[in-house]
Amino acid sequence: MALVKIHSHPTNYPTFSQADDESDRELFERVFPFLNSHDPHGSAIMLPAGRVFGRWFNENLAATPFSHVSKIGDDIEIWPATLPSSANASSQRTVQVLGEATFTVMRLLRVAVVGCSGTGSVVVEQLARLGVGHLILVDPDVVEYRNLNRIVNATSEDAALSRPKVEVLARSVARMGLGTTVEVHHENLLTPQVVRAVSTADVLFGCMDGVEGRNALNRLSAAYLQPYFDVGVRIDADGAGGIEDIWGSVHYLQPGGSSLMERGVYTREDLDAEGLKRTDPVEYRRRRREGYIRGVPENRPAVISTNALYAAFAVNELLARIHPFRWSGNDGFAIHRYSLTRDLLIAESDGAPSARLAKIVGRGDIRPLLDMPELSE
């Protein structure tokens, strides 16, 4: 935990004054020995329009500016300390639609995409072409021939060589030449090193069918104060060309708000079953055979057209939060559910705050990480 002192500059003075320098030194030269900690602490200023900027101090009282400050709510506001380079010719159309200010925020963003298959690959493609500055890609799987119908830019050679999905997407982003940097983690999210990497992101995208990863991302969002966009797609097909239903959903989750479990996306029993399948597949099969647990869904059918639709919903939801364009505001759109077969679109507002996650909101690096015993170090 860190102590952050914050005060206002009603005159709109856009930097720290000499009086601020003196009061910060006076405060923090007492704070560090009192708390007996080497961890940094901060000082921040709010201007009349709401913008916040600040700096952090180490134990030697050397100050470093905050790279940026984020305010996460129905809208997402991000105030950078310094502005990234301006748009180039390849980004002019994006700037025409979203404006220079929003493009600047996109260049600043670090976005983690967990799950880099059908839906995730389309999310990555769109984020890179919209100008996101840095992508963190997480997926433990490799490209297979059965993936080629839906992973953007994957090839039969990738499948033949069993290339990691994250590396295939990183290659694609690099070939765009739009300035997006990519960090890849060919691992499961449920490892301490990957959790720490994802915790550095400004925004989270979850593109997974499984519930363990979604549960961990929800906890990451709460602990590290990160907005989280979860996208899910379900096709009920009979295997012979008949389609019973096509559903997809996009959830926007704020730190301190409701969670996917409270929203009914999965249950505690679903989470326990998937965890058992991963850690003890023999016991999982025994319990399923004896009817003690429900089976974990496997190999759901998917095609690129449906994945691309719901991926676009998710990316546009990020844009709506950063660059509010809805006539009625964002508070009524925490959940989108869209059925292609019924041509039915349902939007819902956020529910009650999650009591289950309340104790870790804003806590950052607690032990064990995310208050999950399996992430003990």
Asked if 61 and 210 sit in the same domain, the reply is no
> The tokens of 235 are what?
């096709």
**Claim to verify: residue 168 and residue 227 sit in the same structural domain:** yes
Average pLDDT over residues 61-67: 95
The Cα–Cα gap between 333 and 317 comes to 9
Identity at 198, one-letter amino acid code: V
pLDDT at residue 88 above 80?
A: no
Residue 325 covered by a domain: yes
Same domain, 209 and 255: yes
Report pLDDT digits (tens) over 323-368.
989 999 999 999 999 988 888 899 999 999 999 999 999 999 999 9
Position 37 scores a pLDDT of 82
What is the band of 29 on the pLDDT scale with cuts at 50, 70, 90? Answer: very high
Query: Which backbone phi and psi does 352 adopt, to 5 degrees?
Result: -70, 150
| Shared domain check, 178 and 145 | yes
Q: Would you say 71 and 163 are in contact if contact means Cβ atoms under 8 Å apart?
A: no
- Residue 175 falls inside a structural domain: yes
Q: Would 312 be classed as within a structural domain?
A: yes
> Is the residue at 83 inside a domain?
no
- Residues 237 and 300 reside in one and the same domain: yes
DSSP 323: S
- pLDDT recorded at residue 374: 87
Residues 65-85 have a mean pLDDT of: 88
Structure tokens at 310: 């719901």
Does residue 355 form part of some domain?
Answer: yes
Residue-range definition of the domain harbouring residue 127: 89-375
- Please report the pLDDT score of residue 298 as a whole number: 60
pLDDT at 20 over 60: yes
Q: What is the pLDDT of residue 80?
A: 87
Residues 60 and 95 placed together within one structural domain of the fold: no
Give the DSSP per-residue string, 360-371: GTT--S-SSGGG
% the chain with pLDDT above 70: 91
- Asked whether residue 245 falls in the same domain as residue 311, the answer is yes
Same domain, yes or no: 140 and 247: yes
pLDDT digits (tens, 9 = 90+) for 273-307: 888 778 878 876 877 776 666 665 666 667 889 89
CB atoms within 10 A of CB 216: 24
Residue 81 lies in a domain: no
Q: What is the pLDDT of residues 130-146, one digit of tens each?
A: 999 999 999 999 999 99
Q: Across all residues in the chain, what is the average pLDDT?
A: 90
Q: Is residue 76 included in any domain, yes or no?
A: no
Higher-scoring residue by pLDDT: 65, 96:
65
Instruction: Indicate the pLDDT class of residue 91, thresholds 50, 70 and 90.
Output: low
- Same domain for 181 and 107: yes
Between these two residues, 32 and 94, which has the higher pLDDT value?
A: 32
Total tally of structural domains belonging to the chain? 2
Q: Is 44 exposed, middle or buried (0-12, 13-18, 19+ CB in 10 A)?
A: middle
Classified as helix, coil or strand, 310 is helix
Same domain, residue pair 162 and 214? yes
Q: Is 183 helix (H, G, I), strand (E, B) or coil?
A: strand
Which residue in the block uniquely carries the two structure tokens 């549960």?
A: 215
Same domain, 22 and 95: no
CATH of the domain at 253: 3.40.50.720
Q: Classify residue 73: in a domain, yes or no.
A: no
pLDDT of residue 103: 82
Q: How far apart are CA 107 and CA 105, in angstroms?
A: 5
CA angle, residues 191, 158, 216, in degrees to nearest 5:
20
- Give residue 179's pLDDT band: very low, low, confident or very high (50, 70, 90): very high
Position 13 pLDDT exceeds 70: yes
**pLDDT tens track for 144-171:** 999 899 999 999 999 999 999 999 999 9
Least confident residue range of 122-126, 232-236, 270-274, 284-288: 284-288
The pLDDT, as a whole number, for residue 279 is 81
307/369 same-domain check: yes
Flag whether pLDDT at 1 surpasses 70: yes
Residue 267 — pLDDT band, cuts 50, 70, 90?
Answer: confident
